[in-house]
Structure 1
Amino acid sequence: MAKQSKLAMDITKQQDAQTKMLSGSAWMTAGSIFSRILGAIYIIPWVTWLGNYSDQANALYAKGYNIYSFFLMAAVAGVPSAVSKLVSHYNAMNEYGVGRRLYHHGMYVSALTGFVAAVILYFGAPLFADGDANVIPVLRSLTLAILVIPSMSLVRGFFQGYQQMAPSAISQFVEQVFRVVYMLAATFFIMRVQHGSWVNAVSQSTFAAFIGSLGSILLLAYYYLRNKESMDELVAQSDNQLVVSSWSLIKDIIIQAIPFIIVSSGTIIFQLIDQYTFFNVMRQLHEYTMAEMNQLYALFSFNANKLMMVVISLASALSITVIPMLSAAKTKDDITGIRQQTSNALLLFYFVMLPASLGLAAVAKPLYTIFYRYSASGTTVLIISAYIAIILGLYTVVSAIMQGLSQNVRTLKYLGIGIVVKLVLQVPAILLLKTIGPLIATGMAMTVTVYLIIHSLNVEYRLPFKKMAKSTNQILLFSIITFVVARLVVDVLYLFFSDYGRGSAFFVLLVAVLFGGGVYAVLALKTRLADRLIGNRVAGIRRRLHIK
């Protein structure tokens, strides 16, 4: 009886953990997806208003934002994720008071790192511009955002430590709304009213990151005040058995944060390698003008990347959810829970990411036409980017799992190996494949890193790959079927429509997504795959759709 009772308790704990992960993933996925979609949709009017300067503007935006993203990652310093992990750790021990003090000390650290990074970026802009004078005002327009975003991100991390994902998700969307509204209004005014400089329009568009952060800060402040009373009660009911000095708390934050900086910057580091090698290699290859190289660079660094990041944001949402939960399981030495949560995270990733990425590849032609204009080379780059997105998204999830389990040094080592592979392959890949070379080099390098991480997890925790095999194979098969259906719809419809029209592209995209997505949904419901991964609530959807 005792064994049966313990087994029942273990099953209940696993179900609770899966429910929390699904709930958190739902919030973070919704916030991330809506933010990314909004962050992609703005491109249509933005590109239209910039007119003939759109490719140059896209390249300039990408150059500035890649450098900004790296500095922002350094300014944020991994503190929000570290605080999320540590707060979850102390909360699991019923030491809410320590978690609150840690949050306050994290604020001091974030304010300092934001200030230092902003100063370095502002005064170092001419150096980071790499000879392109247009990049300097863009970088300087981003310094205010770097100043305030670290503290804003810390509040998100604090809520995540309590496994409250809604404030982070909603504030992420509000931030994007404020940002997009400002950048579109500024671009329209500069380009259509003033008939001004496209460089100035890009600078104002990047300054919009600061405007967005203000909107997010206001919403997070509201959530903090609304939840303060209940969190104060938890602090008052803490065990208060731990005595941790202020210096120890700051040291814990820094020790946990440093790996988060580098690991979270993995994709950004790869993009910076692309930025600082592509132009130099292309100059050696042919007599390209700067405008021509910017146009080629924009194809993969901005145009395709913007659309690819909508898909990768799915993985980012999962990774944010899994860190505090794994940290809590690690604190309790719950090996079964770690194994279960890791397999849940991987299967959820496959379930969402594989059909999304293959679907993106299938509808690349109409999608690229809607957002930019018809381009055979642009479509090809987007198709390759869609495949690369799978491995980049998987890196985001598995590296987060490693960090949630405090495997920071090992994760850094594996990322370092991936960066070395990228550096070795980069120049030959550009020489042989030109514009798609950097994407291929990134994909191969990240594959090495992801393999090493998953192998390490399997050695340490014996992941249930055999148990996962049926669901994994079904997801792969259904995703391939989805790709084939969507691609057939696109190819057939384009026999009757022009390649160049945005209206026809939208119609083709809509029909392809309905057919492809519908096929995947029916297959997932019919085989009960969705039930196994999402839970019993799917049964209601099946009944309404009359699927047995």
Structure 2
Amino acid sequence: MEKQTSAQRPKRSAQEQMLRGSAWMTAGSIFSRILGAIYIVPWRIWMGAAFLTANALFTKGYQIYSVFLIIGTAGIPSAISKQVAHYNAMNEYKTGLRLFFNGLLLMAGMGILSFGALWFLAPILAVHDPALTQIFRSLAWPLLLIPILSILRGFFQGYNEMAPSAISQFIEQVARIIYMLLMTFIIMRLGSGNYVDAVSQSTFAAFVGAVFGLGLLAVYFLRQRQRFVELAETSDDNLQISIPEILLDIIKQAVPFIILDSAINLYYIVDQYTFNPMMHVRYAVSEHRLDEIYALFAGNANKLIMIVVSLAVAMAVTALPLLATAATRGDKHEVAAQITNTLQLFYVVMIPAAVGMAAIAKPLYVLFYGYDELGVHMLELSSFLAILLGLFTVLATLLQGMFRNRLAIAEMAVGFAVKIVLQWLMIYFFNVYGPTISSMIGMIVTSLLMLHTLRVDYHYKARQTMRRLLGICGFSALMFVVVRGIALLMGMFLGTQRALPAILTIVVAVPLGVLVYGYAILKTRLADMIVGSRVAGIRRRLHMR
């Protein structure tokens, strides 16, 4: 039997591509985030009494590094994904390939520049703290490789190939964590016991992970190189764009991604530089204790909620090339359908995941960080913030996919301004919860503005989406009551402050919560309406009418 070529294979619908791509990106992102949280358990044990201080140092380093990383990659991976999909939709594969190769050179240069910037600015950014300066400089090294790694991911995503990105992301995280834990054990248990050195090696592990991730993507690219060349040879080649025009095109598309991708990090950076000074004005508390409290919400809670937020990131990455393709073709019906599908898929997955995390906040926090009542409350509140962070990520990507970059930036800026204006007021009234509450309000403002734009300009099915959202919220609330009830009941008999009872509580409560929510959306056929007809097969196998 003759093998089908890629051109002969039946094309998947946009919804199928969205679901398939989201599945790959979600798997890669979720597993990476889970690994990124699990390492905390041995890391915390080996750090001992220095854990909270070390974690605060780690968190402060990563917040600044994340912004340098976004600037270093210059938003180009997402721009490449969007533009490659745009040119491929026009059958201009050759132009997309030229854009990729020239972008690769540009990213290598950006990596060198961002490395130099973080290295030399480290003392200033650390406010001349020697320990934090050391951490920043250890984080400068991965900036040399990650821009190149990211553009390779963006190229594959432009072809709607999510598997290489997902697998490389997982391998990168595995290599990073192995190096991090190995060096932490050597320094803290076999060596000097200097927690600053241990944190420094833990952050340098990002460079080790990047080496492995880049190597895997290079193998994927070389294996498929012939296919890309063949597609380029069959392209129309009607566009005659010079290299300077290509680079300018990349930069023009990249700048909005820099700003929007930095938004969540900027919220936390505002907290990093304002939390301690503002708390000192209102409350009598030591600088050391404030650093520990900052680590509770910006470090501990943030690591766990980002597992849930990664669901939204996966959907956004998948939706971007599909939307760019539909927008390029001028298919308004397809654009509206894509917006509707993306939002409803986001709600049906993200809301129960975040609400479920809030329901098991206590055993979950105990498992990863040990018992801390304030930390548990921080995680509960942050779980609801996760929904808003995820919604912003998806909405910003939808607007960018339709080339509404300036509007997306303007609406993000309004919410960010609200966050800054309310920061002191929220800290004054809500104490340590103030920064999280001001972030929630800022994200709500931005999300409402973006939803209004999508409804007015693109006429997605807003009423249908709202009706289904109400159902999702109702079923999620029911699940919350069941899961929290089980957690409280088991806590009465097993205790709540040790790791083993926490694990048993999670193992029992989470599957029951999934069953409650899953049964509800299957029985009411809400899952069929959002995910598609394939869900009907699950219901038949479960003998549900």
Output the TM-score relative to the length of structure 1. Answer: 0.96
Q: Which residue among 532, 536, 544 is the counterpart of 2:529? A: 532
Secondary structure of the residue that 2:492 maps to in structure 1? Answer: coil
Q: Does 1:164 align with 2:178?
A: no
Q: Which residue among 297, 313, 335 is the counterpart of 2:294? A: 297
Q: What is the match of residue 346 of structure 1?
A: 343
Q: What is the match of residue 3 of structure 1?
A: none
Alignment of 1:322-361 (within 5 A): 322-361=319-358
Q: What is the match of residue 236 of structure 1?
A: 233
Secondary structure of the residue that 2:353 maps to in structure 1? Answer: helix
Deviations 1:191-242 (A, max 9, x none): 1111420011000000000001011001101110111111111011001111
Q: Does 1:173 align with 2:170?
A: yes
Secondary structure of the residue that 1:499 maps to in structure 2? Answer: coil
User: Partner letter of residue 130 of structure 1?
Assistant: V
User: Partner letter of residue 141 of structure 1?
Assistant: S
Alignment of 1:264-275 (within 5 A): 264-275=261-272
Q: Give the aligned CA root-mean-square deviation in angstroms.
A: 1.3
Secondary structure of the residue that 1:89 maps to in structure 2? Answer: helix
Deviations 1:446-473 (A, max 9, x none): 1101111110111101121223344322
Alignment of 1:364-383 (within 5 A): 364-383=361-380
| Range with greater deviation from structure 2 (233-242 or 534-543) | 534-543
Structure 1 residues 498, 195: closer, same or farther in 2, change over 3 A?
farther
Once residues 250 and 140 of structure 2 are traced to their aligned partners in structure 1, the CA distance between those partners, rounded to angstroms, is 24
Output the TM-score relative to the length of structure 2. Answer: 0.96
Once residues 455 and 540 of structure 2 are traced to their aligned partners in structure 1, the CA distance between those partners, rounded to angstroms, is 38
Q: What is the match of residue 247 of structure 1?
A: 244
Once residues 171 and 273 of structure 1 are traced to their aligned partners in structure 2, the CA distance between those partners, rounded to angstroms, is 32
Q: What is the match of residue 5 of structure 1?
A: none
Once residues 327 and 226 of structure 1 are traced to their aligned partners in structure 2, the CA distance between those partners, rounded to angstroms, is 27
Alignment of 1:213-224 (within 5 A): 213-224=210-221
Q: CA deviation at 1:541?
A: 2.7
Once residues 469 and 366 of structure 2 are traced to their aligned partners in structure 1, the CA distance between those partners, rounded to angstroms, is 33
Once residues 275 and 21 of structure 1 are traced to their aligned partners in structure 2, the CA distance between those partners, rounded to angstroms, is 36
Secondary structure of the residue that 1:134 maps to in structure 2? Answer: helix
Once residues 340 and 373 of structure 1 are traced to their aligned partners in structure 2, the CA distance between those partners, rounded to angstroms, is 45
User: Partner letter of residue 290 of structure 2?
Assistant: M
Q: What is the match of residue 88 of structure 1?
A: 85
Q: What is the match of residue 186 of structure 1?
A: 183
Q: Which residue among 454, 457, 467 is the counterpart of 1:457? A: 454
Secondary structure of the residue that 2:134 maps to in structure 1? Answer: helix
Once residues 328 and 432 of structure 2 are traced to their aligned partners in structure 1, the CA distance between those partners, rounded to angstroms, is 46
| Range with greater deviation from structure 2 (295-304 or 521-530) | 521-530
Once residues 192 and 432 of structure 2 are traced to their aligned partners in structure 1, the CA distance between those partners, rounded to angstroms, is 32
Deviations 1:326-378 (A, max 9, x none): 10001000000000000100001001100001000000000000001111111
Alignment of 1:311-322 (within 5 A): 311-322=308-319
Once residues 543 and 315 of structure 2 are traced to their aligned partners in structure 1, the CA distance between those partners, rounded to angstroms, is 30
User: Partner letter of residue 420 of structure 1?
Assistant: A
Once residues 167 and 512 of structure 1 are traced to their aligned partners in structure 2, the CA distance between those partners, rounded to angstroms, is 34
Once residues 476 and 308 of structure 1 are traced to their aligned partners in structure 2, the CA distance between those partners, rounded to angstroms, is 19
Secondary structure of the residue that 2:370 maps to in structure 1? Answer: coil
Once residues 308 and 43 of structure 1 are traced to their aligned partners in structure 2, the CA distance between those partners, rounded to angstroms, is 14
| Range with greater deviation from structure 2 (460-469 or 507-516) | 460-469
User: Partner letter of residue 345 of structure 2?
Assistant: L
Once residues 547 and 139 of structure 1 are traced to their aligned partners in structure 2, the CA distance between those partners, rounded to angstroms, is 56
User: Partner letter of residue 17 of structure 2?
Assistant: K
Taking only the aligned residue pairs, the percentage that are identical comes to 47
User: Partner letter of residue 204 of structure 2?
Assistant: F
User: Partner letter of residue 480 of structure 1?
Assistant: A
Secondary structure of the residue that 2:110 maps to in structure 1? Answer: helix
User: Partner letter of residue 18 of structure 2?
Assistant: M
Q: What is the match of residue 24 of structure 1?
A: 21
Structure 1: state its 5+ residue gaps.
1-11
Q: Does 1:309 align with 2:309?
A: no
Once residues 109 and 436 of structure 1 are traced to their aligned partners in structure 2, the CA distance between those partners, rounded to angstroms, is 42
| Range with greater deviation from structure 2 (101-110 or 529-538) | 529-538
Q: Which residue among 467, 480, 489 is the counterpart of 1:492? A: 489
Q: How many residues align?
A: 536
Q: Does 1:430 align with 2:427?
A: yes
Q: CA deviation at 1:420?
A: 0.9
Q: CA deviation at 1:539?
A: 3.1
Structure 2: state its 5+ residue gaps.
1-9
Once residues 346 and 214 of structure 2 are traced to their aligned partners in structure 1, the CA distance between those partners, rounded to angstroms, is 30
Once residues 535 and 415 of structure 1 are traced to their aligned partners in structure 2, the CA distance between those partners, rounded to angstroms, is 32
Q: What is the match of residue 386 of structure 2?
A: 389
Q: What is the match of residue 277 of structure 2?
A: 280
User: Partner letter of residue 519 of structure 1?
Assistant: V
Q: What is the match of residue 94 of structure 2?
A: 97
Q: Does 1:69 align with 2:66?
A: yes
Secondary structure of the residue that 1:142 maps to in structure 2? Answer: helix
Once residues 536 and 63 of structure 1 are traced to their aligned partners in structure 2, the CA distance between those partners, rounded to angstroms, is 46
